[in-house]
Amino acid sequence: MNQGELTGQLRTHITDLSDPDCALHVDVAAPFSSLRRAACAAGFDLAPVSSFRDFARQLAIWNGKFSGARPMYDASGRAMLAGELDPEQRIEAILLWSALPGASRHHWGTDVDLIDRKAVTAGYQVRLTPEEFAPGGPFAPLAEWLEANAPRYGFFRPFRGELSGVRPEPWHFSFAPIAEGARRSLSPAVLHQAIAAAPLLGKEQVLARLEELHARYVAAIDWP
């Protein structure tokens, strides 16, 4: 991938799928379709609630949380008020659950947030919380199946709460053969260039700590 693709500013590496409706890296579409067929055979309707996400979308998420316009949560999932936090505290809180614009693995088209559409009613509001995937939650059977079967198709969970600073995300799966190359290519210098030109709230503080933030939230992931 080139720098624009790595940071979500280009989508020349992306293809759009219609069933299910999602956008993936051109070389991830086929492996994902194979994973979905296997899940279907096991009784699941595997569907991404998030796939490719561009820089502008990630910027809107970040700025919304930083300003208090979007909900922000602590490590245990409790709501936090942005107005009660200084800029450094806001950055730490956001990065528990959301990536810096330019640093999201969703920019690469290799990563998907997955649910089982059969497990909920049509009006159910998916929240992507750990409780939904824990025993007793609607997506617990899918989480167990993916844990056992996703690696056969090249997918793994990069955020398990072990090495990465990101909180555990049992819904988030990544296609390792391509994502790993992207992770290694997304250097602090590439990320700096993308962020420096953007209207990012808290930009001064982020850029001052970029090497550290990159090490904790981009370079560090949880391998199987």
CATH number at residue 26: 3.30.1380.10
pTM of the model: 0.92
Q: Which domain holds residue 98?
A: 3-219
The pLDDT tens digits for 47-83 are 999 999 999 999 999 999 999 899 888 877 788 888 8
Residue 120 lies in a domain: yes
Residue 102 lies in a domain: yes
- Mean pLDDT of all residues in the chain? 94
Residue 104 lies in a domain: yes
- Reference 218, options 163, 151, 172; nearest CA is 163
Determine the residue type at 160. R
Task: Band the pLDDT of 224: cuts 50, 70, 90.
Answer: low
Tokens encoding 29: 């579409």
Determine the residue type at 39. A
- Reference 143, options 124, 129, 163, 162; nearest CA is 129
Q: 144 with 43: CB under 8 angstroms?
A: no
Residue 94 lies in a domain: yes
Query: What's residue 223's pLDDT?
Result: 78
Domain count of the fold of the chain: 1
The pLDDT tens digits for 16-49 are 999 899 999 999 999 999 999 999 999 999 999 9
Residue 80 lies in a domain: yes
Residue 100 lies in a domain: yes
The pLDDT tens digits for 83-124 are 888 999 999 999 988 999 999 999 999 999 999 999 999 889
Residue 224 lies in a domain: no
Residue 200 lies in a domain: yes
Tokens encoding 69: 């316009």
